[in-house]
């Protein structure tokens, strides 16, 4: 058996956004080599690196945006490279979401890197662009080979970016945890792809769908017979659901999220919290709602259970966090649960609700993490509730912006979060899942508490200066000072107060 396929110019045109970003990643790395590096004097401290490299990255993203819009308007919307990479409207819409997340992540990066005095930063922006390329490939994949290629491409880049701050132990821990657990999940996904090929004889989505259409009989509406997939395909769908659930941070595969999000640099956390979720969820929906749609009865119960666990568990765990950054991490788990409602519903209604929710969530979540990145210090502190207490009195601009993003994430009207949740819950009702609508609404009401808690801490609580255990109070008239041995107001005897005469 021979196979011959000739690559055409149309194939390259259909992946033009990815090509632009890949080329600009190489340009950024070459520019980093040519630009001056940090020296001993101020003149040699390479301040241009903090301007040139992010500008080049943003130019690459702008070029990818232009290529995407050109494909929207003038593209043929056909799959490229022998039905392996799609360029349909759903893929192009996903490009817009992922590119927007990358654009905002790069905008947040220069100030953060400068605060950490990281001048040799070309690899940072290059890895960010390459991770974006991998996510775009995953979202546009029309073959399981491209699914795995895109998944590994952005995962390898994020492993390094999570541990980018070498001198910070929490950053190194985040990179290592993400590497180990993500590799474990990738193995599940790869085994699922292998079993799928064994069961269907194809790795392309078109080939698998046609195989299922040929081999699975259509159930008669009169006898309502229950059809089951072949055992190999059942195993494949189980393994694939584990791999995708890990990437979208769904419970019970969410253990990596809080530690990785908390330890990684804040701009990287902002980027991966949105873009990773968008790419993985779109691939999840494409595989299960389109490719495995004929076997819907076999996998529906599993995804339904994961959806409910993720919605309820994410909101409950977010309630008990003492840091805004970790709260947002668990909040992202809850939002992944809301998005999985679209996978359960399926069809045009469910997938369109996922895409609209992701677009709104991109700007809401990136905005919240962007404010956290401005508050974060070199030692990874600055985002605890005790540290943002009274922020309105110190930095009213940041407090006001963070409040807007908190209200949007909570789903208060007329914020974008309200429209996104309304559309998703309406899709659940239309798809015949009123139980998901009820659970989603109740969980959203519960989630309002931890979002409003952030606002109350910034606006209604003033910064409290803790009294030291030993306080020195000068006595002006007799050249003496009183040293309180215990907390103020608790002295009850001569042993509690010591008087020390000052030497003239």
| 3-state SS track over 358-382 | HHHHHHHHHHHHHHHHHHCCCCCCC
The span from the CA of 336 to the CA of 244, in Å, is 12
The span from the CA of 289 to the CA of 284, in Å, is 8
- At which residue do the structure tokens 């017979």 appear? 225
pLDDT on residue 63: 92
Collapsed DSSP state (helix, strand, coil) of residue 393: helix
- At which residue do the structure tokens 């069809």 appear? 347
Which two tokens mark 237?
């769908």
Structural domain spans, the chain:
9-216+227-459, 471-501
Alpha helices in 248-323 (DSSP H): 257-263, 266-285, 296-319
- At which residue do the structure tokens 């149309």 appear? 10
- Integer angstrom CA distances of residue 335 from 31, 108, 204, 332, 341: 38, 23, 30, 5, 10
Q: How many CB atoms lie within 10 A of CB 52?
A: 17
Q: Structure pTM? A: 0.81
The span from the CA of 421 to the CA of 445, in Å, is 12
The span from the CA of 76 to the CA of 278, in Å, is 24
pLDDT on residue 372: 82
- At which residue do the structure tokens 């009213």 appear? 396
| Residues of the chain predicted below pLDDT 70 | 1-3, 36-49, 118-120, 216-229, 377-383, 461-504
Which secondary-structure segment (H or E) carries 475?
strand 471-475
Half-sphere exposure of 487 (CA within 13 A, CB side): 3
- The candidate with the shortest Cα–Cα distance to 366, out of 107, 90, 95, 66, is 107
Taking the alpha carbons at both ends of the chain, their separation in whole angstroms is: 103
Q: Which DSSP category does 353 fall into?
A: H
Which residues are CB-contacts of 47 (< 8 A; sequence separation ≥ 6)? none
The span from the CA of 104 to the CA of 300, in Å, is 35
Alpha helices in 395-479 (DSSP H): 396-410, 416-430, 434-459
Confirm if 299 and 329 have CB atoms less than 8 A apart: no
The span from the CA of 372 to the CA of 402, in Å, is 8
Q: Order across the sheet with 471-475: list the strands.
A: 471-475, 480-484, 497-501
pLDDT on residue 220: 40
Report the DSSP beta bridge partners of residue 143: 204
pLDDT on residue 310: 92
- Integer angstrom CA distances of residue 469 from 48, 465, 485, 486: 48, 12, 8, 6
The span from the CA of 363 to the CA of 409, in Å, is 10
pLDDT on residue 39: 52
Distance, CA of 39 to chain centre: 36
């Amino acid at each position: 058996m021979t196979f011959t396929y000739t690559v055409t110019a149309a194939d390259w045109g259909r992946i033009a956004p990815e090509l632009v970003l890949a080329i600009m990643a190489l340009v950024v790395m070459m520019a980093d080599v040519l630009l001056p590096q940090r020296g001993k004097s101020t003149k040699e401290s390479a301040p241009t690196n903090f301007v040139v490299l992010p500008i080049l990255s943003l130019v690459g993203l702008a070029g990818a945006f232009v290529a995407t819009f050109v494909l929207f308007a003038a593209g043929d919307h056909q799959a490229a490279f022998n039905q392996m990479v799609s360029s349909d409207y759903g893929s192009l819409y996903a490009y817009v979401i992922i590119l927007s997340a990358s654009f905002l992540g790069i905008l947040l990066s220069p100030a953060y890197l400068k605060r950490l005095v990281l001048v040799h930063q070309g690899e940072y922006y290059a890895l960010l662009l390459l991770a974006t390329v991998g996510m775009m490939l995953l979202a546009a994949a029309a073959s399981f080979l491209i699914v795995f290629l895109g998944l590994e491409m952005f995962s390898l880049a994020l492993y390094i970016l999570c541990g980018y701050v070498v001198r910070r132990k929490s950053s190194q821990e985040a990179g290592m945890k993400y590497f180990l657990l993500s590799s474990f999940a990738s193995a599940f996904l790869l085994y699922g792809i292998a079993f799928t090929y064994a069961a269907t004889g194809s790795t392309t989505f078109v080939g698998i769908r046609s195989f299922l259409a040929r081999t699975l009989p259509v159930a008669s509406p009169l006898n309502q017979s229950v059809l089951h997939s072949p055992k190999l395909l059942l195993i494949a769908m189980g393994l694939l659901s584990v791999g995708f659930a890990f990437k979208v941070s769904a419970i019970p595969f969410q253990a990596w999220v809080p530690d990785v999000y908390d330890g990684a640099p804040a701009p990287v956390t902002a980027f991966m919290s949105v873009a990773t979720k968008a790419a993985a969820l779109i691939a999840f929906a494409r595989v299960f709602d389109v490719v495995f749609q004929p076997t819907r009865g076999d996998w529906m119960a599993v995804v339904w259970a994961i959806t409910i666990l993720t919605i309820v568990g994410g909101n409950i765990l977010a309630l008990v966090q003492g840091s805004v950054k970790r709260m947002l991490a668990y909040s992202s788990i809850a939002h992944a649960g809301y998005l999985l409602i679209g996978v359960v519903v399926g069809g045009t209604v469910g997938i369109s609700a996922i895409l609209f929710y992701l677009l709104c969530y991109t700007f809401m979540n990136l905005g919240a993490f962007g404010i956290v990145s401005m508050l974060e210090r070199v030692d990874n502190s600055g985002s605890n509730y005790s540290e943002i207490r009274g922020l309105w009195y110190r930095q009213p601009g940041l407090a006001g912006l963070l409040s807007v993003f908190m209200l949007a994430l909570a789903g208060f009207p007329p914020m974008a979060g309200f429209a996104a949740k309304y559309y998703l819950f309406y899709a659940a009702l239309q798809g015949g899942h009123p139980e998901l609508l009820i659970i989603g609404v109740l969980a959203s009401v519960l989630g309002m508490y931890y979002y409003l808690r952030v606002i109350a801490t910034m606006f209604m609580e003033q910064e409290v200066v803790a009294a030291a255990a030993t306080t020195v109070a000068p006595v002006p008239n007799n050249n003496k000072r009183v040293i309180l041995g215990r907390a103020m107001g608790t002295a009850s005897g001569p042993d509690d107060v010591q008087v020390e005469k000052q030497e003239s």
